[in-house]
């Protein structure tokens, strides 16, 4: 009997992959994933049986991985963390009690982006995807509103696409109801991989047109600030001389 490993490969570079994820991919004889994610790990999967699918084929991909895992050790890969907008949830929904499954975590996009910005996520924070493919937009706006009202640091995934160019701007306007104009915002494109680009703003001068689907947008809370180029959210430590 085989086993299915649902693996978060992190940002995509081998050096930012966990040792557990790396070793599991190496030992599996079958690899399944979205075409772009397969390309990111091509140096690890030479000589293996590889099955790749395009966008919007997530259910077919998961069903294939479950079927192949009846007789093989299979790695189903996702970027970031497999349990945060990855394949872990769908796999478990489609699985039966006979399936042998292990979930292997990875670095999610907000953590990757946060590490290159400084320490923006040091206090209570949340991730919200602006993609309405699986979630109604009215629900997304409600979540943004409640997160902003609760003073969470907010990381926006899938922030802007050609099909929904105005969602990000509208959500920023919602956040402005609760945050000062000097609140820091950062856009990180291709965090921790080739082509990484960082752009820094405040809420009052934010330009949503620099954002695309390869970006993540992090909005600070009421205590966040820029210091010497670093995005910092205080945790509440008492700093100073006794």
Is 240 domain-assigned?
no
Q: What is the pLDDT of residue 157?
A: 97
38 has pLDDT over 60: yes
User: How far is Cα 154 from Cα 114, in angstroms, rounded to an integer?
Assistant: 11
Q: Are residues 117 and 223 in the same domain?
A: yes
Contact call for residues 108 and 81 (beta carbons, < 8 A): yes
Q: Closest by alpha carbon to 43, among 73, 16, 22, 71? A: 22
Q: Residue 59, class by beta-carbon neighbours within 10 Å (0-12 exposed, 13-18 middle, 19+ buried)?
A: exposed
Q: For residue range 104-152, list pLDDT tens digits in order.
A: 999 999 999 999 999 999 999 999 999 999 999 999 999 999 999 999 9
Last residue of a domain, one of 107, 133, 157: 107
Q: Of all helices (H) and strands (E), which one includes residue 117?
A: helix 109-117
Per-residue pLDDT tens digits for 40-70:
999 999 999 999 988 778 999 999 999 999 9
Domain count, the chain: 2
- For residues 62 and 114, state if they share a domain: no
Question: Rounded to the nearest 10 degrees, how much is the dihedral formed by the CA atoms of 192, 151, 208, 34?
Answer: 40
Q: Do 203 and 169 reside in the same domain of the chain?
A: yes
Q: Which helix (H) or strand (E) holds 232?
A: strand 230-232
pLDDT score, position 242: 42
127 and 165 belong to one structural domain: yes
Does 219 share its domain with 171? yes
The tens digit of pLDDT for each residue in 161-189 reads 999 999 999 999 999 999 999 999 999 99
CATH number at residue 132: 3.30.950.10
Give me the CATH number covering residue 29.
3.40.1010.10
The rounded mean pLDDT for the chain is 95
* Backbone angle region of 205, left / alpha / beta, with phi > 0 → left and psi within -120 to 50 → alpha: alpha
pLDDT in the model for residue 220: 98
- pLDDT category at 32 given cuts 50, 70, 90 is very high
CA angle 149, 183, 233 (to 5 degrees): 85
* 122 in the same domain as 98: no
Q: What is the pLDDT of residue 56?
A: 76
* Burial classification of residue 196, based on how many CB atoms lie within 10 Å of its CB (0-12 exposed, 13-18 middle, 19 or more buried): middle
Residues 66-107: pLDDT tens digits? 999 999 999 999 999 999 999 999 999 999 999 999 999 999
Among 64, 80, 107, give the residue marking a domain's end: 107
pLDDT of 6 > 80? The answer is yes
Pair 176, 121 in one domain: yes
- What does DSSP say about strands 184-189 and 153-157: parallel, antiparallel, or unpaired? unpaired
Tell me whether residue 32 is in a domain: yes
**Are 82 and 178 found together in one domain?**
no
Whether the predicted pLDDT of 240 surpasses 70: no
What does the alpha-carbon distance between residue 173 and residue 177 come to, in Å, rounded to a whole number? 7
Q: Which domain holds residue 99?
A: 3-107
Q: Are residues 133 and 103 in the same domain?
A: no
CB 144 within 8 A of CB 154: yes
Are 94 and 151 within one domain?
no
Q: What is the pLDDT of residue 54?
A: 81
- Kindly write down the DSSP assignment for every residue of 138-204, as one continuous string: HHHHHHHHHHHHTT-EEEEES--BTTBTTHHHHHHHHHHTTS-TT-EEEEEESTTSTT-EEEEEEGG
Residue 12: pLDDT above 90? no
Extract the tokens encoding 177. 């109801």
DSSP 124: S
CB 113, CB 218: distance < 8 Å:
yes
Note whether 128 and 97 are same-domain residues. no
pLDDT the model gives residue 237: 80
pLDDT for position 215: 96
Q: Give this prediction's pTM.
A: 0.92
């Amino acid at each position: 009997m085989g086993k299915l490993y649902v693996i978060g490969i992190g940002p995509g570079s081998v050096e930012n992959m966990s040792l557990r994820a790396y070793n599991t991919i190496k030992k599996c004889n079958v690899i399944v994933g979205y075409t772009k994610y397969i390309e990111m790990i091509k140096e690890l999967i030479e000589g293996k049986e590889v099955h790749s699918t395009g966008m919007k084929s997530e259910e077919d991909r998961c069903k294939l991985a479950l079927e192949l895992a009846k007789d093989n050790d299979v790695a189903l890969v996702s970027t970031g963390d497999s349990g945060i907008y990855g394949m872990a949830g769908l796999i478990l929904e489609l699985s039966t009690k006979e399936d042998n499954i292990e979930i292997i975590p990875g670095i999610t996009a907000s953590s990757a982006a946060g590490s290159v910005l400084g320490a923006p996520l040091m206090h209570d924070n949340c991730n919200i995807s602006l993609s309405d493919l699986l979630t109604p937009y009215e629900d997304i706006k409600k979540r943004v509103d409640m997160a902003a009202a609760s003073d969470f640091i907010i990381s926006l995934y899938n922030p802007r696409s050609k099909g929904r160019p105005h969602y990000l701007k509208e959500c920023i306007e919602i956040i402005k109801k609760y945050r000062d104009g000097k609140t820091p915002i950062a856009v990180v494109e291709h965090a921790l991989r080739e082509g990484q680009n960082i752009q820094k703003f405040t809420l009052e001068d934010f330009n949503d047109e620099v954002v695309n689907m390869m970006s993540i947008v992090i909005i600070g809370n009421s205590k966040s600030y820029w210091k010497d180029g670093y995005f910092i959210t205080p945790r509440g430590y008492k700093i100073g001389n006794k």
